[in-house]
Amino acid sequence: MRSDLAQSYGQDRLPRYTSYPTAPHFSPAIGEEQYRKWLKAVPKQQPASIYLHVPFCRSMCWYCGCHTSITKRDDPIATYAAGLRTEARLVAETIGQRLPVSHVHFGGGTPTVMLPETFVDLVGALRYSFFVIPDAEIAVEIDPRTLTEPMVDALGYCGVNRASLGIQSFDPAVQRAINRMQSFEQTALSVERLRRAGVNRINFDLLYGLPLQTVESCLDTVAKCVELRPDRFSVFGYAHVPSFKKHQRKITEDALPHSIERHRQSETIAEALVDAGYVRIGLDHFALPGDSLAIARQDGRLKRNFQGYTDDSADALIGLGASAIGRMPQGFVQNVVSTRDYLTRIAEDRLATAKGYAFTTEDRFRADIIERIMCDLAVDLPGVSRAHGRDHRSAIVDRTRIDSLIADGAVTLIEDRLSIRDGAEFLVRSVASAFDAHLAHSTATHSRAV
């Protein structure tokens, strides 16, 4: 582990590069009218993807950075699900035909707080408005603490075949500090029920850098998790931004690990997962060798979107729900964040688009470079430049950063092919940022690089 590099670069606040340009650059100049034009131009025979945002949970986890709200009642969730069904219809009508769909992802919040019948109705509406192809991946994010057996049955009935379970940490002290008490037994029971219902592709989400977290507790959590043999892991660093997410003020900053400790936690988790037979994928994902994500990485087909690393090659990602982000071939669109505003617009038979971004030729060039760095930990600058009709010598925006990374032994640049060295993978965001033409003009608050 290169703690010297973590100390040198760890305090930088950088985007996660799940998109380029990143969301802070979205503008109200791209609104409903423009989105309608983009939808009408979607290639009709190419499969698209759908993301549905469900912004409700039963309790607030204090580390949470998502757009969500707390409700103990089912009525607001049912009303919102009706809005999603209507939005799906509006989008399909705008496209003008029943578009084929290869990936569906329910995110949140906690999508499984819906009543089972509400979820079944929503999936039925999706299948009515779009042609969900028979081998489509249908994924749902799950909080094991609130997952009921009837909901598991509903997931199986609807053809859900991937589930992402939030774990974060099994250390009781950490769980108390983040207001998320979740036992290993709860989690294991959820996995058993899901697999029995036919939801056989299982992902686990872990966090490092949490209050009171230690390297030892990270190792203990990983050891417990691998007993259940999920197909994939996502391992993210906690982003402490209490000015943006006020509930994070309940986390005592003194209890947060510093950059070197965060780095040790991250790399210890990575080493333990690799030792357990998982393949390291990019910055923060791990998969069993036979998983489609590992195969996509091996074949050079790995992609990156707002859910992280993916093997989804669709050019169009349709976002449904409050705050949902979509990606069209022409640019990004994002719905209004407020649930109330979202439902008002949908009730008026309007699309809920609030802002977006139209790609320039320059953006497409840099997006390809950054995606290859994030996915492959390397990029052939002349090759990407030729594909865009560009001179590769114009690719690097921050030459000082690249030179520094080379001098520190983190990066090599040989015949203009850039590669991140073994042991420096955790600096991939720092490397990608050297090609970001928007970063110097951004006022957004990002998470720490390490």
pLDDT tens-digit map of 377-414:
999 999 999 999 999 999 999 999 999 999 999 999 99
Share of the chain above pLDDT 70, in %: 97
Region 42-54 average pLDDT: 95
Greater confidence (447 vs 75) lies with 75
- Give the helix, strand, coil percentages of the chain, each rounded to 5: 40, 20, 35
Q: What is the pLDDT of residue 449?
A: 54
Burial 72-102 (b: 16+ CB within 10 A, else e): eeeeebbebbbbbbbbbbbbbebbeeebbbb
Which positions ≥6 away from 10 have C-beta within 8 Å?
A: 259, 260, 262, 263, 448, 449, 450
| Residue among 169, 189, 144 nearest 62 (CA) | 169
Q: What is the pLDDT of residue 3?
A: 67
Give the separation between CA 415 and CA 228, rounded to whole angstroms. 45
pLDDT at 120 over 90: yes
Which positions ≥6 away from 61 have C-beta within 8 Å?
A: 168, 178, 179, 180
| Residue among 112, 102, 104 nearest 81 (CA) | 112
| Confidence label for 97 from pLDDT (cuts 50, 70 and 90) | very high
For residues 165 and 203, the answer to whether their CB atoms sit within 8 Å is yes
**C-alpha Rg value of the chain to the nearest Å:** 21
For residues 153 and 116, the answer to whether their CB atoms sit within 8 Å is yes
Share of the chain above pLDDT 90, in %: 86
Taking each helix axis from N to C terminus, what angle separates 116-129 and 75-95, rounded to the nearest 10 degrees? Answer: 10
For residues 54 and 80, the answer to whether their CB atoms sit within 8 Å is yes
Amino acid at 196: R
pLDDT at 10 over 70: no
Which domains occur in the chain, in start order?
21-358 (3.80.30.20), 361-440 (1.10.10.920)
* Prediction pTM value: 0.94
pLDDT at 7 over 80: no
Region 105-121 average pLDDT: 97
Region 419-425 average pLDDT: 92
Q: What is the pLDDT of residue 37?
A: 98
pLDDT at 443 over 90: no
Q: What is the pLDDT of residue 45?
A: 87
Q: What is the pLDDT of residue 249?
A: 86
